Amino acid sequence: MPSLRSRLRSLATATFGRRALSAVLYGVIALPLALAGFFLTLVGLVFGGALSVTTLGLWLLAVTVRGALALGALQRGLAQRLLGLEIERPGGPGSEAGGAGTGSGIGGASAILGWRRGILLDRTGWRAVGCALLTPFTAVFAYAAVVIGYVYGVLFTLHPLLKRWNYNTVHSADGSTHRVSLAFFGQQLDSWPRWLIPFTAGLLLLAVAPLILRYALGPQRALMTVLLGPDAATRRIRTLEETRARAVDDAAQTLRRIERDLHDGTQARLVALAMHLTLIRELVTAGAAPDRVLTVVDTARGNATQAISDLRHLVKGIHPPVLDEGLPAALTTLAADSALPVALTTDIGNRPTPAVETIAYFCAAELLANATKHARATAAAVDVTARDGVLRLRVTDDGQGGATVGAGSGLTGLLARVRTVDGTLTCDSPPGGPTVVTVDLPHG
């Protein structure tokens, strides 16, 4: 059982640790910053809207939107630095730092007008404006949590030392004033043991202050994530761009591998086969001994057999022929050829598209290979089901665990392959195992 000292130390760390104090600092800064942004944005919108029929009004609106973007960038930076909240940059014409640029003549004027038009038509900027107008209503919760949890917690806890300052000023009917100490149900808290009441209340407030602040920051986190980060369409575009780039890279790597394998393996063997056939012709023409001719024939046949094997292996790496019989049959063959005992369960129903089948097969093959080579597993299980338009492949092994997506691991390549068809890959691999990798692919 932990000792009282260790519990008090843990409580002090949770309340006054670096992470907790960073949240407190954010709660103190966020409200004044939000109020300043709210006032400036509201003034800019009001005057810009009133003058929108003139060029000055449009410029004022553009500057207001650009200021809201700058405020959003500052709020994202503070949230990342003090709260550890990662919010992606939203993108858009005005989201990057910098101004409209410089120019001269007609080209410079066109660039400036294009910047203004881009700012005013950009959804990202107007979402930042909405965040600037709504942030004060969410930041006030964090500020109130800091005041209640920390300020009053400290004042109540130190009441025995601060009792000279913890008082209320009461005005009498005759016009005189006098000080009254803190009271609880009509009892003055100015002597022992009544000091224990505010002292205990202060300790309780400090103990729950981090929890109160965490929940109070929830609306602020949610608002900034929704309005200062990329919207669903932007995320979709980014995902498509990333998957397209990775698909192109994967195709280029596959072509280079095929070219290398053909050049270094199959082509060399076919050249040797042609040379041996030429040699056989020369030997037969010259009337060489049959055993010598047969030796060259055997060598040529070996080269032809190896070339055929290389071609089969190459084709299998592009599209396994066993997939022509369907994914369950392909996975059955894969499980039978695995170095580990594999328990296979399939419940697919309608056959998936060839692209989905190929991705699921290669994911299963790669995950079983990882379980054999890296996880030091002794057994594995492959479960494939199709429900509600989703083909789910789950590969489980009893290895040492510790697998993660990223850091150059093979799971990163699988994730890139899966995302080309809008699939997802998750990995649950605690140290010591077991490792469970789940791949969800569209099926319908």
Contact (Cβ atoms closer than 8 angstroms) between residue 403 and residue 435: yes
Of 13-17, 51-55, 234-238, 312-316, which has the strongest mean pLDDT? 51-55
Per DSSP bridges, beta strands 183-184 and 177-181 are unpaired
439 Cβ contact list (under 8 Å, min separation 6): 359, 360, 363, 392, 393, 394, 395, 414, 418, 423, 424, 425
The lowest-confidence range among 120-134, 139-153, 234-248, 324-338 is 234-248
Cα–Cα–Cα angle for 21, 25, 26, rounded to 5 degrees: 115
Average pLDDT, the chain: 77
Q: Are 332 and 356 in contact (CB under 8 A)?
A: no
CA pair distance 118, 68, nearest whole angstrom: 15
Q: Is residue 2 within 8 Å of 59, Cβ to Cβ?
A: no
In this model, does residue 293 exceed pLDDT 60?
yes
pLDDT tens digits for range 326-371: 888 888 888 888 888 888 888 888 888 888 888 888 888 888 888 8
E strand map for 212-260 = none
By C-alpha distance, which of 67, 70, 64 is closest to 45? Answer: 64
Whether the pLDDT of residue 105 is over 70: the answer is no
User: What's the confidence (pLDDT) of residue 253?
Assistant: 66
232 has a pLDDT exceeding 80 = no
What is the bridge-based pairing of β-strands 424-428 and 380-387? unpaired
Q: How far apart are CA 382 and CA 392, in angstroms?
A: 10
**What are the b/e assignments for 99-128, b being 16+ CB within 10 Å?**
ebeeeeeeeeeeebeebbeebbebebbbbb
Of 97-111, 273-287, 354-368, 386-400, least confident by mean pLDDT is 97-111
Structure tokens at 158: 């130190």
Whether residue 420 is predicted with pLDDT greater than 90 in this model: the reply is no
Residue 440, token pair as written in the block: 């969800």
d(CA 228, CA 126): 10
- Find out whether 145 and 27 touch, Cβ atoms under 8 Å: yes
The percent of residues above 70 in pLDDT, for the chain, comes to: 73
Residue 319: pLDDT over 50: yes
- Distance CA(352)–CA(391), nearest Å, equals 8
Tell me if 330 sits within 8 A of 323, measured CB to CB.
Answer: yes
The percent of residues above 90 in pLDDT, for the chain, comes to 10
Worst-scoring range by mean pLDDT, 172-186, 190-204, 424-438? 172-186
Size of the chain, expressed as the number of residues it contains = 444
Q: What pLDDT, on a 0 to 100 scale, did the predictor assign at position 180?
A: 46
pLDDT confidence of residue 139: 92
Q: What's the rounded mean pLDDT across residues 272-295?
A: 78
Q: How far apart are CA 108 and CA 114, in angstroms?
A: 10
Give the single-character DSSP code of 151: I
Q: DSSP letter string over 44-71?
A: HHHHHHHTTTSHHHHHHHHHHHHHHHHH
**CA torsion, ordered 172, 177, 179, 183, to nearest 10 deg:** 20
> Is the separation of the CB atoms in 159 and 146 below 8 Å?
no
Structure tokens at 319: 């599209």
Q: How confident is the model at residue 247 (pLDDT cuts 50, 70, 90)?
A: low
Question: How confident is the model over 409-430, as a mean pLDDT?
Answer: 79
